[in-house]
Amino acid sequence: MMEDDRNSRFSTVVLPHLQDALTTALWLTGDRADAEDVVQEACLRAFRAIASFTSGNARAWVLAIVRNTAHSWLRKNRRSELVAVDDLDVEERVQAERGADMEELISMNPEGGLIARADEAHLRAEIEKLPPEFREALVLRDIQGLEYREIAVVTSVPVGTVMSRLARARRRLISAIADERPDRGCSPRKALPVRTLRCVGTVT
């Protein structure tokens, strides 16, 4: 690919998604300066690989590179933060294999509405406490809005695992917020309020 063509394609495919790239990197690293370093390296990787992108979801492609770059950075600089979690318990594995929507597994939780009433700082703090894999699934789904199959591609895990991680992330978030609020009786919600999470996920 000619240099001019590479530059043009990079501008079309990658540059429109830099804000989302920075948001994702910030959630994964927890530090603005580190996130900027990750995005800079991810952009270099994307530029070198731009000829390999021919079609599909450009945003998911860019976020996959950002995610992989962030994990490489964390392995090098903060290996202790990349602690694996047990993705599927027995019941969730059965449900995933049957094709169940893991969001339905938490739809009856009567404390789901607490998320909508949590203040932004508290919600952000609780998301940051989630294990890396859970936080990643939550950010990619509820903040970045990727589909399950897109997240599976980005994270290189089965769709069932994505769904399980997301369900567990939401449950932990709900539980953490519920534990600190006295008004624990509220109407059920089917999922987290995405608009609230996307507001929390905005990088300024």
- Compute the Cα dihedral for 122, 194, 188, 98 and give only its sign: negative
- Predicted confidence at residue 42, as pLDDT, reads 97
- Predicted confidence at residue 200, as pLDDT, reads 56
pLDDT reading at 190 higher than 50? no
Backbone angles phi, psi at 190, to 5 degrees: -75, -30
- Predicted confidence at residue 112, as pLDDT, reads 43
SS3 of 126, please? helix
- Predicted confidence at residue 5, as pLDDT, reads 83
CATH number of 90-200: 1.10.10.10
- Residue ranges of the chain that CATH labels 1.10.10.10: 90-200
Q: Which CATH architecture has domain 3-81?
A: Orthogonal Bundle (1.10)
- Predicted confidence at residue 126, as pLDDT, reads 85
Query: Which residues 6+ apart lie within 8 Å of 129 measured at CB?
Result: 176
Q: What integer is the mean pLDDT of 196-201? A: 54
Closest CA to 21 of 33, 7, 35: 35
Pair of tokens at residue 151 = 């997240």
- Predicted confidence at residue 108, as pLDDT, reads 39
- Residue ranges of the chain that CATH labels 1.10.1740.10: 3-81
More confident residue, 162 or 105: 162
As a whole number of angstroms, the distance between CA 179 and CA 100 comes to 28
How many C-alpha atoms does 121 have within 13 Å on its Cβ side?
0
Q: Are 70 and 138 spatial neighbours (Cβ–Cβ below 8 Å)?
A: no
pLDDT reading at 18 higher than 80? yes
pLDDT reading at 201 higher than 70? no
